[in-house]
Amino acid sequence: MSAPRVLVLRTAGVNCDFETEFAFERAGAEADRLHLNALAESPKKLLDYQVLAIPGGFSYGDDVSGGRVFASEMRHRLADVLATFLEQDRLAIGICNGFQVLTNLGALPGPFRTDATPTVSLVNNDSQRYEDRWVHLEVRTPHCAFLEVGDRLYLPVAHGEGKLVAREKTLKQLREQDLIALEYVTPDGEVASYPENPNGSLAGIAGLTDPTGRVLGLMPHPERFILPTQHPSWTRRELPDLGDGARLFAKAVRYFD
């Protein structure tokens, strides 16, 4: 089968698009970076791709809140084609600011509808400051196309608004439907508190998937640990040829085998 095509959607303030493109191409996909304005001129172009990736950064300066303006632009300019895309056997991933976009769209925890309203929010970290550190994660869901249940990952975070909050009823649904994709844990796999949980996210949630398992949003940056030289201890330890983040992109590519 030919390599799956990935659309890395960028706009003003996005700054991880090159890294996301590299990560998918290193995993065997064909990736294109495309500005939101260019896609909005021809929305059906989205359907030429098998994967939609919304990378990290500070879209529109996060002037209102993280990812909200980007999500509003997508809703008003791309809602119909996005609904068609997500109804079909395709994948979508939102990383950091992209995760904020997907929650503001109502695509996570989903399912996405053109009139969807957010049921979870990503708000200011408990520390009330930008957190830039490496964290341990454990995969909780058994049905996400990007993840293997029980897998452990070590990835960097870099955000000021990563605390996931929701009503207790919604948290119960997330647990019952296995929509919690990733949780912050200690190096021993135990429940994490600050700083291992860098933002105070409820239930230690670091990422969500939707009921289909084909949409993933996460605050940590897998695209920033593809090569061993991106690890903070690369000069002091022998490391595998690929970093932990590479596993997410490789599994997404394998989905289309």
**Which residues does the annotation mark as catalytic?**
96, 221, 223
Asked if 89 and 211 touch (Cβ cutoff 8 Å), the reply is no
Task: Compute how many other C-beta atoms are within 10 angstroms of the C-beta atom of residue 33.
Answer: 17
Residue 136 φ then ψ, to 5°: -95, 140
Q: Return d(Cα 242, Cα 201) in angstroms, integer.
A: 28
Q: Return d(Cα 59, Cα 47) in angstroms, integer.
A: 23
Beta bridge partners, 9, equal 34
| Residue 48: DSSP 8-state | G
Identify which of 24, 6, 7, 50 has the alpha carbon closest to the alpha carbon of residue 223. 24
- 119 Cβ neighbours under 8 A, 6+ residues apart: 106, 109, 166, 167, 170
Q: Return d(Cα 22, Cα 221) in angstroms, integer.
A: 13
Q: Return d(Cα 234, Cα 223) in angstroms, integer.
A: 17
Order of strands across the sheet with 51-54? 30-35, 5-10, 51-54, 91-95, 215-218, 205-209, 180-185, 131-139, 152-159
